[in-house]
Structure 1
Amino acid sequence: MLNFRFSRLILFVLILFSCRQNPQKTQSVPGTETNEQLIERTRTTFKNVINIPYTEVYRRFASGISFNAQGFQLKPSWKITFLSDTSVSVFSPIKLRYYNLPLVLDHDSMFSMAGAWFKARKISKDSLRFQVLSVRNKIINWKNSNVYVTFYAEDYLKKQHVNVEKLRSTTKSDTAYIQKLADASALDSTKIFAAQQPVSLKSNSANVQVTNAKTKAKDLNSYYIPETLFYPEYNVTINKAYADFYHSFAVRVDAKGRLHFVEPMETMVDDPENTIKVIKGIMDGYLAHYLQITPGKTLGIPHDSLILLVVRGNKN
C-alpha cells in the first residue's frame, strides 16, 4: 500500500548559501593557499558576456530526457542577462518583468543566482550551459546534480532563424519514456507517477459539487517540485446523503478512470476496519455513479495516478 502521508518527493534542495564540495570530491592544493585564493583562482567570470540577453532553450536530465521517474517535467523558461560578476537580470514569466538579483561566484566555476546553485560548463557569446547543483547543508550532492540547462543568445537565435518554442518542446524520446512509465505503473502500483494533466472530476448530479485541484504558480520559475503536482487534492460535497460524514483518503485513478482506494488520510481511533468499509461504500455508492472521471495524462498518454479526496456528506 502506498504511503501518502509520509512520502515526500523532493527533487532538488536549492539554498542561498555559499557551498563547498563533498570532501571526497575536493582536491587539496599544495602550499598555504587560502580559501579566498582558491576561489579567486578557480571561479568563473561572466565579463565576456555582460549585457547579452540569453533565453533558456533546454532543461534536461543527464539522460537527455526532460522527465524523471516521478513524472516531474523540466520546462525551460528562464531569460537572463549578466550585468556584472555580482549581478544578474532574470525574467519572470509570471510577473512578465525582469528582476535584478545578486550573483555570487564561488570556486570551481560554481555560482549562485535566483535561489539556485550552478556549475558553469560552457560560457560563450552564443550559448551558455550550466549544471544545476543539488546543495544541502553547504554540501553538494553530485549524484542528484543531474540537471543541465542550456541558453542561447537572443541574437544567435535571430541569426539562425531558430524557433524557441520548438526547441523547448518535448521530444520523441520523452514520449517513449512516458509510455514506458505508463506501462510499468499499470502493472506495479509502486511505480505510479504524477500526471502533467491531472485527473478531472465532473459531477453528473445537482446534489454533488466538486472542486478540482489547482497547482499554484511560483513568482519566479525555479527547480522546486510543487507538491500539488504529486498530491492533487479534490473536494467533493454530497448533499442529501444517507448521513452526515466527512472523510479524507488517498485514491489511485487508473488509466481508464476507475477509482481504487489506497489509504485513509484521517485519524481513525475507533474501528478502523469499519471506517475503511464506509469509505469504500461512499466510493462505490456515490463517487462511481455521480462523477465523470477523466484519468490523468502526460503527453496525451492516460496513466495511473494518485489523488487526495476530501468528501463531505450532508444529510439535509
Structure 2
Amino acid sequence: MKTLPLFFLLYMLLMGSSCNYIRKINEDPIPTFTEIKGIKYTEVRRSFQNGLSFNEQGFQLEPEWNIYFNADDSVKIFSPVKQQYMTYRIFHSHKALFQFAREWFRVQHVSKDSILLQVMELEARVLKEDKSTIYMKLYSDDYIKKVLKADAATLKQATREDSLFIKYRAIQANSNLDSAFAARTPVVLSSRSKITRVEKLKASLDPYLGHVNRSEEYLYPEYRINIDKAYKDFQYSFSVLVDHNGKMHFKEFLVAVEPEFLESKTKVAKGIIDVYLRNTLSIKPGSTLGFPHTSLINLHIIGRK
C-alpha cells in the first residue's frame, strides 16, 4: 500500500478545516436591515478588540460615519465633503458577512437604538479572523437625543482607558527615544529668524474618498525648511525625533545614501540641526490627548548661500 505524500495530507487537513470554518460562518443568518430601514445612526465609538481607540504607533480610530439603511441591499453614508448622503450597494458573502464602501462587516448587534459592527479582514475572499479586530458602535440619533440626552461630539470623545494608555506610552517615549509614536497633535515648527522659512506639507488626497486622509497628517508629518544665507547650497531629506522638550535628534535619511558617504553626510545633517534649526526655529513638541511626547517627523531642508 502506497503512503500518501505529506504535502497532500497537509493540504487535505487544511481544506477540511477551512470548509468546517466556512460552514460555521454560513450557520449565522444573513443580516437584514428591514427593521431599521430609514433610521439615522451616528457612529460614536470605533475601537480595537482591546477596547482602545489607539494602537502602539499612535494611530487613532475615529468614529466618522452617519448612516441609514434604505433597503437590505443598499446603505446611505453622509459625505462631509459633498455635504450629502451617498448610496452604496451591499454585497453578501458566506451569509453572515456583507460589504459596502470597500469594507467587509459582520453584524454583532442591530436594533432600532444601536448597531455594533465588526470590521472583517479578507484576503482573496479568505477570512482573516486574527486581523478582524476593529469594532464600530453606532447609536440612532433619536436614542442619543431622547434617551442618552447627550450630543454625538461628547460621546465620541476619548475614554479614560484611552487617556491612561496614552499617558503610559508618553512616559515610555519620553524615557526612550526608540519608543516614540505618532503625535495626534503633531510637532509645530515656526521660524524666529529672517533666514529661515517653514512650510508644513499637506497630505495627499485619498483617490477613493476624494479628500485628504486625516490620519496621514499626523502619522507622517512633513515639513519643508528653506534656509537663506547658508554656508553653501545644499539639500537634504531626513527624519528627526522631536522629544517632549522640543529638542531634535537625527534619525535617518529619507533617501538611500551610499555606505561610504553615510558617516560624513550624517555629520553634516546633525550640524544643520545644531547650527541652523535649533537656533532659528521655535519647536513645540507633538502631543496626544494633552500629553507631550517624542514623535517622528520628516524634514526636507534646502539651503541657499
Q: Distance in 2 between matches of 1:148 and 1:200?
A: 32
**1:246-295 deviations in whole A, cap 9, x for unaligned?**
01111000011000001112333452211111111111110010010000
CA change 1:28–1:74 in 2 (3 A) is: closer
Letter in 2 for 1:199: V
1:302 paired with 2:297, answer: no
Counterpart of 1:175 (choices 134, 154, 163) is: 163
| CA-CA distance at 1:27 after TM superposition | 4.9
The Cα RMSD (Å) is: 2.4
Q: Secondary structure at the match of 1:118?
A: strand
Counterpart of 2:99 (choices 112, 125, 130) is: 112
Return the TM-score normalized by structure 1. Answer: 0.83
Uncovered stretches (5+) of structure 2, i.e. residues with no partner: 1-16
Moved more, 198-207 or 228-237: 228-237
Counterpart of 1:280 (choices 247, 270, 294) is: 270
Q: How does 1:125-144 map to 2 (within 5 A)?
A: 125-144=112-131
Q: Distance in 2 between matches of 1:248 and 1:191?
A: 22
Q: Distance in 1 between matches of 2:124 and 2:44?
A: 30
Q: How does 1:1-316 map to 2 (within 5 A)?
A: 23=18, 26-28=21-23, 38=26, 42-160=29-147, 161-215=149-203, 220=209, 226-269=215-258, 271-315=261-305
Q: Distance in 2 between matches of 1:200 and 1:129?
A: 37
Letter in 1 for 2:292: P
| CA-CA distance at 1:100 after TM superposition | 0.8
Letter in 2 for 1:23: S
Which structure has more relative contact order (CA 8 Å, sep 6+)? It is: 1
**1:174-197 deviations in whole A, cap 9, x for unaligned?**
111101011112233332211110
| CA-CA distance at 1:216 after TM superposition | 5.4
CA change 1:28–1:268 in 2 (3 A) is: closer
Q: Distance in 2 between matches of 1:146 and 1:225?
A: 21
